[in-house]
Chain A
Amino acid sequence: MKIFSNGSSFAAGSYPKYLAELLKADLTNISTPGYSNRSIWRTTIEYNPQNYDLAVIQLTSRSRTEFYDDRKQWMEISSQLTHPLLDDKKKLWSFWYENLYTDEYGECEEKLAFWGIRDHFTINNIPCIMLTTDKYTTSRNFDVNIFDIDFPMDKTRHPTDKGHKIIAKRIYETFISRM
């Protein structure tokens, strides 16, 4: 069995590995901390996963985005503007979040990414479990909102090792219930 995983910092942690252990599967995990929904959608399509038995995709906060910079390639942007290489662009992005960004825009981005990813796996006959770590999402499409699960977190508000095992078990149960 082969599992494909993508997402941001939560998925870059160890729940995909624990899920692969539960299912005795090989794992490909291209998750990267800081990824936006657009980055997760783009990198999934660019990777073009084929011949997998399960895809587990974790979407993230709707307000994140990305842009392309010749020197720094794709750069992740979040409303905290913590990216160390933002330099002179920080003022522009700060204005975006203060004046132009709205929940409606974020919801639209989330919806485009959700269907873009889910349909890619449907077309390729790969079962797909869609997760989110956006606790305020209004979308009813996700299979699991990770913040609906009771799990311990560390000081950085990410799951502890035990937390990752709990999340993996929940995804495992979701997958088994569909078989």
Chain B
Amino acid sequence: MKLLFLGCSWTWGDELENREKQRYSSIIGKRLNADVVNLAENGLSNHAIARIFLDQYLEQYDYVFVQLTHPSRAEFFDKDGITADIKNIRLKQKLAKIYDQEKAKLRYKQNMFKNKMWQRVMPNVKRFMETGYKLDGREWWELYYEEIYHDKFGDSEELLIYQLIRNRLTILNKKHFISSINPKCKVPVDLLLNNSKYPRAQGNHPTDIGHLMISSDIMKLL
């Protein structure tokens, strides 16, 4: 049996001492005696979760667990992102050239190199707001959240992505479970994880006990 887990830091297991062992995906995998593939990452948006979802060969999985996140998060493809920290200009140019040459080959397959070029944007976390793209001295994304982003946009994205994931998995006849950490979630997910009964760590992520409780609640609903 093989399980796929997608989501953000909650599913990734942020703030856990032994993430690989204590996160709820591992506990469920152990209880079901199944292999687990966990592709969750810190700071992923619903857009990113849907993008990664569509990149997967879903046929290989017996059960797919998707955790949706806060709808205000965003992402963009930053071609310069992968070389942003490289100071050597010649090396930087060389890598950019390799990327351009490899672009056509990268296009139709999932690739970690390419995946790293998607930059995550989270309005409430400073490090995810420092992308280096500045307009009149201010981060463009700050201006985006002030001037352009509207909750109605986030809500519509949540609905579109929820339906995309639910419909795709139904058509493929895959057992699936959709949860969300958005306390104002407007779509009928199977479980709302942002529930005060799950104990939290300092950064607001579930503790090891929280993950144990989440896994129990999910197991009851399978």
Give residues in A with beta carbon < 8 Å to B: 41-42, 45, 67-70, 88-89, 91-92, 95-96, 99-102, 104-105, 107-108, 111-112, 115-116, 119-120, 122-123, 138
Contacts and interface: CB of A to CB of B under 8 A. Distances in A.
Contact of A70 (B77, B140, B150, B161): B150
B104 to A, nearest CB: 9
Interface stretch (B5-13, B89-97, B141-149, B191-199): B141-149
A101 B51 CA distance: 16
Contacts, number: 81
Contact of B54 (A96, A105, A115, A138): A115
B164 interface: yes
Interface in B119-136: 133, 135
Nearest to A69: B150
Interface residues of B, number: 32
A45 B54 contact: no
A104 B47 CA distance: 13
A115 B135 contact: no
A115 B150 contact: no
Interface of B: 47, 50-51, 54, 76-79, 107, 114, 117, 133, 135, 140, 143-144, 147-150, 152-153, 156, 159-161, 163-164, 167-168, 170-171
Contact of B135 (A42, A88, A91, A102): A91
Contacts of A45: 159-160, 163
B140 A112 contact: no
A89 B50 CA distance: 28
B135 A116 contact: no
Contact of B160 (A41, A69, A123): A41
A23 B114 CA distance: 45
Given A115-B54, A120-B167, A123-B167, 13 more contacts: A45-B159, A67-B149, A68-B156, A91-B135, A92-B135, A95-B133, A104-B117, A105-B77, A108-B51, A116-B161, A119-B171, A122-B171, A123-B170
B107 A116 contact: no
A104 B77 contact: yes
A112 B77 contact: no
A123 B150 contact: no
A79 B156 CA distance: 22
B19 to A, nearest CB: 28
Contacts of B50: 112
Contacts of A92: 135, 140, 143-144, 147-148
Contacts of A119: 163-164, 167-168, 171
Given A45-B159, A69-B150, A99-B140, A111 B54 contact: yes
B186 to A, nearest CB: 13
Contacts of A105: 76-77
Contacts of A41: 160
B163 A95 contact: no
Contact of B164 (A68, A101, A102, A112): A112
A136 to B, nearest CB: 13
